[in-house]
Amino acid sequence: MNRTSETDTTSKPKIGQKGLIFKEPLVFEMGSPGRKAYSLPKSDVPHTKLETLLPPDEIRQEIRNFPELSELEVVRHYTRLSQWNFSIDTNFYPLGSCTMKYNPRINEDMARLPGLAQHHPYTPETFSQGSLQLLFELQEYLKEVSGMDHVTLQPAAGAHGEFAGILMIHAYFEAQGRQRKKVLLPDSAHGTNPASCALCGYEVVALPSNDQGLIDPEKVRELMDEDTAAIMLTNPNTLGMFEKDILEITKIVHDKGGFVYCDGANLNAVVGIAKMGQMGVDVLHFNLHKTFSTPHGGGGPGAGPVGIKKILEPYLPTPVVEHKESRYSLNYDRPQSIGRLKAFYGNFGVLVRAYTYIRTLGKEGIRKVAESAVLNANYIKASLKEDYHLPFPGPSLHECVFNDKYQNKQGVKTLDIAKALIDEGFHPPTIYFPLIVKGALMVEPTDSESKETLDEFIEAMKTIARQTEENPDALHEAPQLPKVTRVDEAKAARHPVLRWKSED
Ligand SMILES: *Cc1c(COP(=O)(O)O)cnc(C)c1O
């Protein structure tokens, strides 16, 4: 893959991995009896039998065939295993809705500065002024980017931010003495949205998207009433489309005394260009691990700060980071607060990365993020629109949603296309989401990727479209190149094998 053949002078060498697989046995099949990964000086403590010190059930039984390896063997084994995985550092990772963008190394350097990484969360405020200043300034930057009046950095993820935001809305109606019952949710919403509403005791009312994939203001007018606490929308929505009637929608909701919650997972499309606060949004969560870099995936830590309008300020989670008379402090004395949501003050390391990202890009750089993200997605969309069906062909921003309609005629499904991409050296995009698109393939290239990478991805997608015509059966067998080929996903989910068992 990395070499061009000598006769082929036209094509550029391609970057990426294809069939780069190390042979790797199980760790239990490796090593040799008595081999150790440590060397310690001979102990001068007299030998004592464990049985004289511990009750029998506290003593570990010998594990038969327990692997005995040197340190180098262990390091190589796990390093090789780690390379069976896709990662942003090795491949293009076009998952839609997740914004798998590159995390600049300077973010990691800053998060590892000893003064930040080793700062104990119980250190008194007087000795924590630097860390508190960082938190306070990050709040200010997020306010500026979003047009919101206050920001809390506590929630640990987007879903946690949704929960915090809806709880604040709930607390508001509680304080008014009349709780509302429902929340309106477009049918294209991410699954965490209805879950957050249900956790706060609200009934979810589905709002059907119109034939352009957008919210229909007339539908909102029909369903919005004084028993409805809020509308929870995503803008741009999960089809990557900007809700062009946002001003009308927010007015309808406000006229009935409701709140507008915006799921900000797609802010990568609008940062530095448009402010949700100016569109009538009252609550907005940010996914710092999507819009403001920070590595994510695999359940790693994230952060889901929430921006709110002034009216919800009494309900902010405690403690609130404040800056008064050139001192930074944490305010716990807030009687109407929804309380604490997270140990200490949020996932501090993630907040340092987002702070660094914003400071290194600056105002102009942040705007360029959105411009490049939108340009990249539209380049892919335009390049593949003949090969893959676009169920909602209208203008879209930072991601584009295709489906398998054209390939279906040959019996090739979205799952086959996704698996075939692995053989082509790419991580599959998000599939079968949003739910309103049958057989969805949702591609988000992000701002990080170069035109060369996008061209290779487009070429791979075109190859798969061609294979669909020429040899559709082969696609049912994809992927063939990786160590693990096509798995029975239902079986893998229902009967996972999580523990190695000795043969005997
Ligand atoms: C990712 C995402 C969420 C949930 O965010 P997490 O940080 O994964 O909890 C919510 N809504 C949308 C649209 C998303 O893409």
Please state whether the peptide bond connecting residue 194 to the residue before it is cis, i.e. omega within 30 degrees of 0.
Answer: no
Mutate to test the pocket of ligand 1, among 287, 342, 430 (most ligand atoms within 8 A of CB): 287
Kindly state the average pLDDT of the residues 213-230.
Answer: 98
**Helix extents (H) in 96-244:** 105-111, 114-117, 129-146, 158-176, 192-199, 217-223
Task: Tell whether 378 and 397 lie within a shared domain.
Answer: yes
Q: What is the CATH number of the domain that holds 374?
A: 3.90.1150.10
User: With a 6 A CB cut-off, is 399 part of the ligand 1 pocket?
Assistant: no
For residue 238, the ligand 1 atom closest to its alpha carbon is: 13
Under the banding of pLDDT at 50, 70 and 90, the label for residue 413 is very high
In a domain, 38, yes or no: no
375 and 256 in a single domain? The answer is: no
Which of these three, 340, 360, 380, is where a domain ends? 360
Nearest CA to ligand 1 atom 15: 97
| Separation of alpha carbons 460 and 470, rounded Å | 15
Helix or strand (DSSP H, E) at 206: strand 203-207
Q: Is the CB of 427 under 6 A from ligand 1?
A: no
Is residue 499 assigned to a domain?
Answer: no
pLDDT classification of 86: cutoffs 50, 70, 90: confident
Query: Quick one: 344 and 379 in the same domain?
Result: no
Asked if residue 268 has its Cβ within 6 Å of ligand 1, the reply is no
Cα distance between residue 225 and residue 327, in whole Å: 45
Is 62 part of any domain?
Answer: no
Same domain, 309 and 399: no
Give the residue numbers spanning the domain of 414: 368-493
Establish whether residue 188 lines the binding site of ligand 1, counting it when its CB lies within 6 angstroms of any ligand atom: no
Tell me if 159 CB under 6 Å of ligand 1. yes
What is the pLDDT at residue 18? 61
Q: Which of 313, 344, 360 is the last residue of a domain?
A: 360
Q: Closest residue (by CA) to atom 7 of ligand 1?
A: 158
324 & 413 share domain:
no
On whether residue 240 sits in a domain, the answer given is yes
Phi, psi of 25 (to 5 degrees): -80, 175
> Using a 6 Å cutoff on CB, does residue 238 contact ligand 1?
yes
Task: Tell me how far the alpha carbon of residue 160 lies from the centroid of ligand 1, in angstroms.
Answer: 9
Q: Is 115 exposed, middle or buried (0-12, 13-18, 19+ CB in 10 A)?
A: exposed
**pLDDT at residue 371 tops 60:** yes
Give helix 451-470 / helix 414-423 axis angle, nearest 10°: 120
Return the C-alpha torsion angle 423, 429, 435, 439, nearest 10: -30
Find the range with the poorest average confidence among 180-189, 291-300, 402-411.
Answer: 291-300
User: Are 248 and 323 in the same domain?
Assistant: yes
The pLDDT confidence band at residue 3, using thresholds 50, 70 and 90, is very low
**Domain tally, the chain:** 2
The best mutation among 185, 263, 267, 443 to test binding of ligand 1, ranked by most ligand atoms within 8 Å of the C-beta, falls on: 263
User: In this structure, is residue 50 part of a structural domain?
Assistant: no
Residue nearest to atom 8 of ligand 1 (CA): 158
Pocket test for ligand 1, best of 162, 163, 166, 190 (most atoms within 8 A of CB): 190
**Ligand 1: does its nearest atom lie under 6 Å from the Cβ of 158?**
yes
pLDDT confidence bin for 178, thresholds 50/70/90? very high
472's enclosing H/E stretch is helix 472-476
Task: Confirm if 232 and 197 have CB atoms less than 8 A apart.
Answer: yes
Q: CATH no. for residue 324?
A: 3.40.640.10
Length of the chain: 504
Tell me the average pLDDT of the chain: 92
Confidence of residue 504 (pLDDT cuts 50, 70, 90): very low
Whether the predicted pLDDT of 201 surpasses 50 = yes
> Separation of 307 CA from ligand 1 center, angstroms?
16
Angle at 155 between CA 153 and CA 161, to 5 degrees: 105
139 lines ligand 1 (CB under 6 A): no
Q: Is residue 162 located within the same domain as residue 205?
A: yes
Question: What pLDDT digit, counting tens, does each position of 233-273 carry?
Answer: 999 999 999 999 999 999 999 999 999 999 999 999 999 99
Residue whose Cα lies nearest atom 2 of ligand 1: it is 265
Which of 327, 360, 393 represents a domain boundary (last residue)? 360
> What does R_g of the chain's alpha carbons equal in angstroms?
26
Q: Are residues 121 and 209 in the same domain?
A: yes
190 lines ligand 1 (CB under 6 A): yes
Q: What is the pLDDT of residue 19?
A: 54
Report if residue 502 sits inside a domain: no
Measured at the CA of 338, the angle between CA 337 and CA 343, to 5 degrees, comes to: 105
Q: Are residues 352 and 383 in the same domain?
A: no
Higher pLDDT among residues 5 and 216, named by residue: 216
CA–centroid distance, residue 313 to ligand 1 (Å): 24
Tell whether the model's pLDDT for residue 387 goes beyond 80.
yes
Same domain membership, residue 372 and residue 355:
no
Shared domain check, 314 and 270: yes
pLDDT digits (tens, 9 = 90+) for 16-48: 656 555 678 889 899 999 999 888 899 999 999
Distance 287 CA to ligand 1 centre (A): 7
Query: Is the same domain home to 154 and 189?
Result: yes
pLDDT for residue 254 = 98
Q: Does 23 map to a domain?
A: no
Cβ–ligand 1 contact at 287 (below 6 Å)? yes
Quote the ligand 1 centre to 197 CA distance (angstroms): 14
